[in-house]
Structure 1
């Protein structure tokens, strides 16, 4: 497996690396950011993870230079506008939403001191509603920039209390001014009202195994509408004679194969220039490979017209461990609704058994861009020395050469 380490974090420090973002600047430079989390991470005086690092590459990703550290900036994603690069995130997990701008290629950044200089939306200072979340892509559409965001409305473990919203602003406005930004209505999932066969799934209140949504990709459809396509976190289907427990998943592979339901995403339509999101119960739930396993980014290839995504899903139906993050695949769609895997692009080569690999290896939260005939992508990577598959010890850079060759003979092309 060929990759380039942008950042390696020794496991002894108990500090882990999260949610990277990748962008190409107008001068061709590549810029990457990521945050730190875990017991050993730098934290604010309030005990919150709050640090982001910035890296530059001027040789197409072959070497990287760490050029900046930003405190009180976390879970952020890049976008470029008018020769400046912006980083939109939060001050800490579930914290206030802030935006920063760099006019010198990422070396220095503005400070969000108030609502006129990048402090956009205040989270509740006591950890109550609102609590903002969302390491999701930024998308430019019809003169506005959009980003999916969630509000966690309780202290319940997992995602079943996440409400989905969208943040947007006109590109003609002052993007550091909070008055330029619109926050849509927040939509409650209410899965019991519209999920087919809802009563055939485990209790939605069961922590991480309940229905939930998060980390949406805002994408324009072929007919010019705009959608927020969310990662759909779903519980296991009921299994006669077994209750919902981690032991069932860990030691009963037959049950996991029969009852896992990770291949879905949920589509919400965005309207009124980002002021409103709506859910159509008849069309919201779509089949999406790996849609429930981790964050995905969706972008459209200007050459083929196909929508593409990098997802944690194996195209090998015989692989009993295909619902984990130790395999990364390319998927494609003509219409955003019907998706097909085009092939694996990254797979653990550490020599671990598949069962060990799923526990210790992860290629997750990829961000990517098209560069000619290739895809450049970065991953939050757990590999060789990681604490576990989730808690990453590396941010890695990869190149998928001639990616359109993988799209040939796909049924979505017909």
Structure 2
């Protein structure tokens, strides 16, 4: 997956690494966000993304399909009023869960034809799960103790980007009608406190529903701190009935490689280790650039969710201003990781707007990921 970052003259550029699924030119000011990736039971790969920025509606999601294992992709569906969303294959059906727009309602849709057509979430019985102001990203679902779980954030706690996020987890019984709001239970929403870190705990967001080695359901969140030279994660504990969330800042803050940007955590069914792909910057001094540092992507593994080991970059570019591999979604298939990236890269006639405002959606396969060396 590693690539050399090379500009080829001023008008012709080397394409981004991997396979381009979609390209939204920087000049459109509609930037690619929220990659999500699944494989359907029949073998088709589905990828989705939304669009953000001044050239977008802040409420559109696009779905693409590949029938040749990711070598080529074609547009399959456009969903209006769907954003910050993740795909899910569950009980033989395909779902997509997210919000209606930036800080919108929580909605879920189902497709019974491989993502070509979708239900409309226009009532609590047809996918309108919660009304209000909510935040999420394409985060993993996990099945545990007879329920399916998904982490979210309540965004009604203020106007500022960090202060408004309060962590909670939703769950529904396996076999329940996921389009029916009555099927879902939510924990209380936990607001962050700035004093949790000496230099300032500015936000937590984009939580992962994960089962610990001891069998407890937890929410592992990205942490935005005032000093990004040490990157953090936070572990919120969820009661077995899915109604109560608790957090102890003295015990439940962990050093998480790349924890200042979005990461997804899943458990390897072969080794039992937890796996993530993270925007880890090895040089602590370089981390002072904070959210800019998305030009390196590395593999991280942990046996206990608390102590993480990280690899050398598996994707990288020397420039961190207009290049980035971020918000990656992925799943394990045999010995490989199949990866979808929100990628900022050079394009004909120019570059991405910046590292954050991605102009490509790219697909990658990391072969034999268990053999990639990681270190403390």
TM-score normalised to the size of structure 2?
0.90
Q: Which has the higher contact order (CA 8 A, sep 6+)?
A: 2
Map of 1:110 onto structure 2: 119
Say whether 1:35 aligns with 2:70: no
Q: Which runs of 5+ in 1 are unaligned?
A: 44-48, 124-130, 205-209, 237-259, 349-353
Tell me the secondary structure at the aligned position of residue 358 of structure 2.
coil
Tell me the secondary structure at the aligned position of residue 404 of structure 1.
helix
Which of 206, 223, 228 is matched with 2:219 structurally? 228
> Moved runs in structure 1, 4+ residues, more than 4 A?
316-323
Which of 266, 275, 290 is matched with 2:243 structurally? 275
Tell me the secondary structure at the aligned position of residue 372 of structure 2.
helix
Report the alpha carbon displacement of residue 157 of structure 1 after superposing the two structures with TM: 2.9
Cα distance change of structure 1 residues 107 and 86 upon mapping to structure 2, 3 Å threshold: same
Map of 1:59 onto structure 2: 68
Say whether 1:16 aligns with 2:37: no
Aligned residues between the structures: 354
Q: Give yes or no for contact 1:331–1:343 (8 Å, CA) kept in 2.
A: no
Greater gyration radius:
1
Map of 1:383 onto structure 2: 345
Map of 1:285 onto structure 2: 253
Higher percent of residues as strand: 2
Q: Give yes or no for contact 1:25–1:105 (8 Å, CA) kept in 2.
A: yes
Map of 2:135 onto structure 1: 133
Map of 2:358 onto structure 1: 392
Report the alpha carbon displacement of residue 144 of structure 1 after superposing the two structures with TM: 1.3
1:173-225, Cα deviation, whole Å (9 max, x unpaired): 11110100112101122242xx25x2xx2xx5xxxxx5210000110011111
Which of 315, 335, 350 is matched with 2:304 structurally? 335
After superposition, residues 126-165 of structure 1 pair within 5 angstroms as 131-135=133-137, 136-165=139-168
1:352-384, Cα deviation, whole Å (9 max, x unpaired): xx4xx2111110000001121111101111111
Could you tell me how far apart the structure 2 residues matched to 1:88 and 1:175 are? 10
Tell me the secondary structure at the aligned position of residue 397 of structure 1.
strand
Which of 173, 182, 194 is matched with 1:170 structurally? 173
Which of 199, 212, 235 is matched with 2:203 structurally? 212
Cα distance change of structure 1 residues 320 and 15 upon mapping to structure 2, 3 Å threshold: closer
Map of 1:370 onto structure 2: 332
Which of 315, 325, 329 is matched with 2:294 structurally? 325
Report the alpha carbon displacement of residue 306 of structure 1 after superposing the two structures with TM: 1.1
Q: Give yes or no for contact 1:149–1:164 (8 Å, CA) kept in 2.
A: yes
Tell me the secondary structure at the aligned position of residue 251 of structure 2.
coil
Could you tell me how far apart the structure 2 residues matched to 1:308 and 1:301 are? 7
1:3-45, Cα deviation, whole Å (9 max, x unpaired): 110000111111111011111111121111110111111x2xx
Report the alpha carbon displacement of residue 386 of structure 1 after superposing the two structures with TM: 0.7
Map of 2:263 onto structure 1: 296
CA-atom RMSD, angstroms? 1.8
1:298-336, Cα deviation, whole Å (9 max, x unpaired): 011122221110000134668677850000000000111
Say whether 1:94 aligns with 2:69: no
Say whether 1:358 aligns with 2:320: yes
1:114-173, Cα deviation, whole Å (9 max, x unpaired): 1111111111xxxxxxx1001122222222111111112345432133111111111221
Higher percent of residues as helix: 1
Q: Which runs of 5+ in 2 are unaligned?
A: 4-16
Q: Give yes or no for contact 1:22–1:78 (8 Å, CA) kept in 2.
A: yes
Tell me the secondary structure at the aligned position of residue 173 of structure 1.
coil
Could you tell me how far apart the structure 2 residues matched to 1:12 and 1:146 are? 39
Q: Give yes or no for contact 2:281–2:287 (8 Å, CA) kept in 1.
A: no
Could you tell me how far apart the structure 1 residues matched to 2:372 and 2:288 are? 23
TM-score normalised to the size of structure 1?
0.82
Q: Give yes or no for contact 1:79–1:86 (8 Å, CA) kept in 2.
A: yes
Could you tell me how far apart the structure 2 residues matched to 1:319 and 1:95 are? 35
Say whether 1:312 aligns with 2:315: no
Map of 1:251 onto structure 2: none
Say whether 1:406 aligns with 2:372: yes
